[in-house]
Structure 1
């Protein structure tokens, strides 16, 4: 808006006679991004099943009301999560390929500035997607997939006697942005990450588990050795208490002593017997 003042006197050209003011005009929009329930929620691995498994994360970007607008969407995928869990995201598919252009890059935490908390210490794989125009009441879907696995030596210890489970929560993150000078989110409130709506970012979690089985060979071997050792200990204790002494031997000794006494009585001389008889008669 420009305002210009003029008068009929001859000195009208002196000083500022015009002023221009600019009033910014913004279009109200209502765009959101969210994770889909069709994403992979859980995967499990074990020492007997270490092969990589395919994980999928799906996001939806929608324009719920207002004017059509161009958008930028940034997806972050940690290179590594937890103890040696890696997801090799290698592909992205969008439902509107004619409207979407995506590119990949590898970034460390320092390059991500206020979003470095969404990445691991190793860094993130970043996918930048530009939507040329997202029409009113329309949506575009993004599907990311790739093999995931546990790396490194995760075998159970040689003397492990119980089952052990390693749990990892893997998160991918997504953020949308647009020209905030030209468009304004309906009911917008500025968030900590600089966006103007809690619906301008989303995360998807996949739970991964690695199961370590106990060493059954060592468990059986030690159990047998322990059983044999206890058997010998009880045997020694019972022997000390006399539980293994034979009564048959004592019976044989007793019978032998009895037969000896009877033999001595029968072997007395005949004269001695007669003398004892006469003494009894007297």
Structure 2
């Protein structure tokens, strides 16, 4: 065994192996390989892959134990850390011998040098950076092998290989933008009105990919009311892109198309489905889709005033075996909906008010005339008496006989 004595000085120290009565060192190294987190390699910005290794020595002491990883060239060793160990342990890993152009990367980890003792177990994590600028297969193989310098080794369980799927990280979102917010109809008149629902699909990630933009549109809104002649238009596209309308009975993944709490609103008989196939949605790009149609109102006399909702649903759907969204825990940004409020208002009829007002005015006029008649307003003698009473008063309403003496004195 070599040990450092001061800077740049090494000396060989005697080292004795404990190999039992037969003086033959037999170890039995067994390894287990697990993936921490997502059970696949995610290719994206700042992606990592962490492997958990459990190493057990089920026989005599193991000397100069080494665990060797063989990984695809797109994985670069970052760090290793011990999770648990029955005894004090240390581990050192090295990938300096790898060539930049090698098809397979090799990482060697020295475990508890010089002695990994009998019946010892150690668990440790090894983390790799995932390169986004290399060509990946749909799945890659990762293997680990435990070896030592012992004279005899039981190799059963000392080698493990796993094939791991590869998925590309994407960030495609869909949201509703400026659309028709409100329309109304009257209970007395049939009619039709245009409605437009607009969605924007954005690829804000670094990965281009083919996607299907799927729309579900309610055919029937309420009794006598439907959304018809709906057309899907887009701001961009190429000749290879196309719109499909699933035939009746065709399977539609309603769970991916709309939130779970609305999954009973639409089915193949109540909603019309459009699938816009994009051969390639480029990274850092966006597209606008508009759904335009006519809401027709055909039974005005059979429905009372009420408020209805016209809701369309949209989702971006892609191959989940190859791509994974950055927000793995939710579909919130991959689904959207737009709602138009539809109000049926009671038609206002002013004729009863006009007739009622006219009759009321006539009744009041008749009552006034009756009261005047009762007090004798229309009697001629009553009028004359009023005029005589007015003529007996002098200026200022003073009787004439009171003014006569003053006039004589003068």
| Residue 192 of structure 2 is aligned to residue 27 of structure 1 | no
User: 2:214 is paired with a residue of what secondary structure?
Assistant: strand
**What's the offset of the Cα at 1:73?**
2.1
| Residue 233 of structure 2 is aligned to residue 86 of structure 1 | no
In structure 1, the partner of 2:263 is: 116
In structure 1, the partner of 2:312 is: 172
Matches within 5 A, 1:1-282: 1=141, 20-37=161-178, 39-46=179-186, 50-82=190-222, 84-94=224-234, 95-105=236-246, 112=254, 114=260, 115-119=262-266, 123-154=270-301, 166-190=306-330, 195=331, 198-236=332-370, 239=373, 241-244=374-377, 246=379, 248=381
Q: Which has the higher helix share?
A: 1
Distance in 2, matches of 1:84 and 1:53, equals: 14
**What's the offset of the Cα at 1:250?**
10
Query: How many equivalent residue pairs?
Result: 230
In structure 2, the partner of 1:257 is: none
TM-score by length of 1: 0.65
Distance in 2, matches of 1:100 and 1:172, equals: 22
User: 1:221 is paired with a residue of what secondary structure?
Assistant: helix
Distance in 2, matches of 1:20 and 1:156, equals: 69
Distance in 1, matches of 2:361 and 2:269, equals: 50
Q: 1:4 to 1:57 in 2, by over 3 A?
A: closer
* 1:78/1:120 contact within 8 Å kept: no
**What's the offset of the Cα at 1:86?**
2.2
Gaps of 5+ in 1: 6-14, 158-164, 253-282
Q: 1:107 to 1:230 in 2, by over 3 A?
A: farther
Higher RCO (C-alpha 8 Å, min separation 6): 1
* 1:156/1:214 contact within 8 Å kept: no
TM-score by length of 2: 0.47
Distance in 2, matches of 1:120 and 1:244, equals: 81
Q: Which has the higher strand share?
A: 2
Distance in 1, matches of 2:230 and 2:360, equals: 53
Distance in 2, matches of 1:91 and 1:250, equals: 84
Q: 1:89 to 1:76 in 2, by over 3 A?
A: farther
